[in-house]
Amino acid sequence: TDVIVVNSSSKYLFDSICEAGGDFVLASYKAQLNKRPEVSVITVKADGRLALKRIYFLEWKTNTDTSILCKSIEKFASDALEKAVQEKCRTIAFPAIKCGFLTDAIIKAAGEKIQKVYDNELENHPNSVLIATPPGALTCKQIFIVKWDSDPDEEILRQSLVDLMYTVVQNVKSHNFTSIAFPAIGCGKHGCSINIVVKTMVLEMKRHLITRNLSWTMKFVVEPDQENIYDEFSKQVLTIQDGKTKVFSINEI
């Protein structure tokens, strides 16, 4: 790879790249920033353990407004590509920015202190499948942030959801909690099959509740404009009801 693009606003990514690149990379970045703070792309020659030629540092921050968010991502990519063309680079690696949109929204609602807790946990335990934080301003006892990726392969997607539900159930049980609120993950911009996601989540949760004999309250949270997803949850919940076990509720936010 000729170039790697780094979001300088992402503390974890920024620190990781600077650590791998050594003192030279951080010193060069600071020198360039002081010299030309107005530029959109700060170019630094790669060094240390980084097997590439250059590093492009660009500042990018999330936004809850979808339109502003999309435009900011377009500008981020456009600025980096334009710089790469100018410097005649042939290959470029981009970070997967904005894959944590839901995480960002929840942490923002929880407050600044929780953001610091999450950043610290992520930095100290980057490979953790689950990060637990206090609730902050949210009306719950704990926030569980679970690492999960969508996949176009339906079987892999289904298994990833099975693993996700297992991880959550194990941690909820270990904390002696009795209720969970689940967002409708993968049903938005991930482009996953809504039927597979919803059916797997509902069936897996019911399986855990019955086999473990758990008297929990389970909520699936759906955004107001996701009527099709709400309908799918309603259909799946009604389909698996056996006349005895009524354990699910579906909430709009």
156 lies in the same domain as 205: yes
Q: Which of 216, 123, 115 is nearest to 165 (CA)?
A: 216
Sign of CA dihedral 114, 119, 124, 126: positive
- The tens digit of pLDDT for each residue in 178-213 reads 999 888 787 655 667 888 888 999 899 988 988 998
Question: pLDDT digit string (tens) for 108-164?
Answer: 888 889 989 998 888 888 888 899 999 998 888 999 999 888 777 889 989 999 999
Are residues 7 and 34 both part of a single domain? yes
Q: Which of 72, 93, 114 is the last residue of a domain?
A: 93
Burial class (CB in 10 A: 0-12, 13-18, 19+), 239: exposed
Domain boundary among 63, 93, 123: 93
Record the tokens describing residue 211, joined without a space: 């086999």
Tell me, yes or no, whether 225 and 151 share the same domain.
Answer: yes
Q: And the tokens for 149? A: 């990726």
Do 85 and 147 belong together in one domain? no
78 & 39 share domain:
yes
pLDDT recorded at residue 88: 86
Element (DSSP H or E) covering residue 249: strand 248-252
Largest Cα span, the chain = 71
What pLDDT is attached to residue 162? 94
Same domain for 105 and 77: no
Query: Do 126 and 232 reside in the same domain of the chain?
Result: yes
Count of the separate structural domains present in the chain: 2
Q: Which residue range is the domain that position 196 belongs to?
A: 101-252
Alpha helices in the chain (DSSP H): 11-21, 23-35, 66-86, 101-110, 112-124, 154-174, 194-211, 227-240
Residue 54, domain CATH = 3.40.220.10
CA 154 to chain centre: 20
The token pair at 30 is: 């600071």
Among 71, 93, 115, which residue terminates a domain? Answer: 93
Same domain? 45 vs 163 = no
38 and 54 belong to one structural domain: yes
Q: Dump pLDDT digits (tens) for 72-121.
A: 877 888 888 888 888 888 778 776 554 456 677 788 888 889 989 998 88
* 107 in the same domain as 89: no
Give 29's pLDDT tier (boundaries 50, 70, 90). Answer: very high
Q: Cβ–Cβ contacts within 10 Å for residue 174, how many?
A: 8
